Structure 1
């Protein structure tokens, strides 16, 4: 869940008690949730050191790692439900900024951007009289050489801590229907774009993806899978690998980005993969989206690990052709229900579109930097119309294949 609105009046002591009650209620409801709730975060800075303190509902074991490019401290924790007020001040001193959230189903991560090279002086959980616990990280400034040495010393442990189990798609079990993989962008420690008022891209696109999946499943014509079904981080390369392991016939990545430098830009845009972007704005957007793994403190290898050969090259060309066909079909189908960007079909080198054998598109539903788009993206009525139109576009794209299936052939009069 995303940070809750600030509650006026209650002290941290009252909030701690409230968190414990909420945890019990969630557990009694049978919902999947972290056992530990984080309800506050603060930075205490002095000329000598900086302390980052989280208020938790229970103690946790945490590990800290130093990583560079840029200089950061990463805290790995068991699963924590972060319910920290959106305007909580958690910057100052050596802490330039931070992000937090689920890194895997059973793990959370805090990524701290440093204002300067720093070393971890202390990391400990301390109990309080009211039942809450404080997780305190203490940092002290160091020279760049010392920080580089810490990064080198932490490298092996950090790589091991960052290993994530592959997401395995449900087996097809002889199901020969077209397989569509829906990819809600961002999630967990990576909320994506955040609009004024606390609207998070990761939440908007997940809700849209759930509605789209339901529509497609109701038709009975498709096998539908999602790369994530909750607010959890999924690496870009893992999203691609998931689609390939699933034998996907179509991969649709759903986003709702923000262009703070150009708030006048709005409307739905469909992107297909290309080595060179169709325009500067698309190149900038792809470069930013491709940094999602790094923002989550994940160091990944280059996605293009396969050996190129003639057959692979031909397959990739054919796949890009199908991607363009679907993009054109989708843009045409969305005209009546969505505000389209003035150039609704664009191209750029998105990592998430790199499956050479799976037709893939990235759909920007709109931009959270546009008030008009936010109003649409958060509207139940618009979501219903838009998912219906998108599902219809998929039906038309797969129409030749569906026509070959016996159960979909029309009866022929004698």
Structure 2
């Protein structure tokens, strides 16, 4: 009997979630590069998770494509305890200042964003790579007052963090890449300026953007600010009452708020791997999503409830569904960047054209690269551009199995926390 007690205890330790800091992070505005938008909008933001113990330094996290600072909430709360003395700054790019978040203070946020009018924001066409690198430099300059700074990026944020290492690498003491690399979607000079044809249609180039012939923010393929606002409204209301009936319009079938909010992002049902997270499974009747044959992977759809309504069950997958909903539901800063500047996506994909002064260079510190086994970069070879961008630089590449692209940030077991904490321990030594 004693051996079974020991084995059960060990199993419990293995399944236990890492400790989480339960305080309230500070949301801080930091002046940025000057543009035609004016001083009120020329600033970016950080969610600051304070160091626990004697301060040693700061790790600054950069979100990916369409991502916001709360992408990193689960990771940050575990990391400040796993890496004593290190504070975590989760960055919100300047476009987060354009979001109308007043709907979250109303009685019905969903109704508020049903009537959300899209503004023009013409100055967004100027918010490209150079502006964002200057913003990030100001953030890092403030963070350096508390010791060395390590820069970490997820997905396209890993590309942006890598480009900062080319731009002002002397100001950082480490670089961490989370399921992302310097070049994810490269564009030629011709494609950058004149546009390109993709799998889902044509993508405008810089010339069309500057001439006002293309939206200045991402507004294509079903991705747009209205959709992002409504998704956050759903999460916000779900966190308040997850088992309530989902209002009309949330899903094409009767469902709980939790099921209606999560089936769009769970990897079993999500068409795009960029937005996929493993948070459980619905109880609804399933079928094959025919569009999945276009994207080359088997994706399911929900046809309707087996009983009174579709429910959601936590089956122990990588990410805790209620913790994920909590991250996605902040009245201050959200999981998404609603007005992601189209110029920034172009510039990152053709950075050698947008900023030709950014040249490959060796770094004086080791780069930590973590891939997600079911994400964008599931193999060591997927990080090939790291060696091309940072020649003669030591690189520690690890693949975290059974994680999606978002699980690497939101995993309930903190799979990425240990490697990052160990990396921070070696900074400055």
Taking structure 2 as the reference length, the TM-score comes to 0.30
Q: Relative contact order: is structure 1 or structure 2 higher (C-alpha 8 Å, sep ≥ 6)?
A: 2
**Which has a greater percent of helix?**
2
**Which has a greater percent of strand?**
1
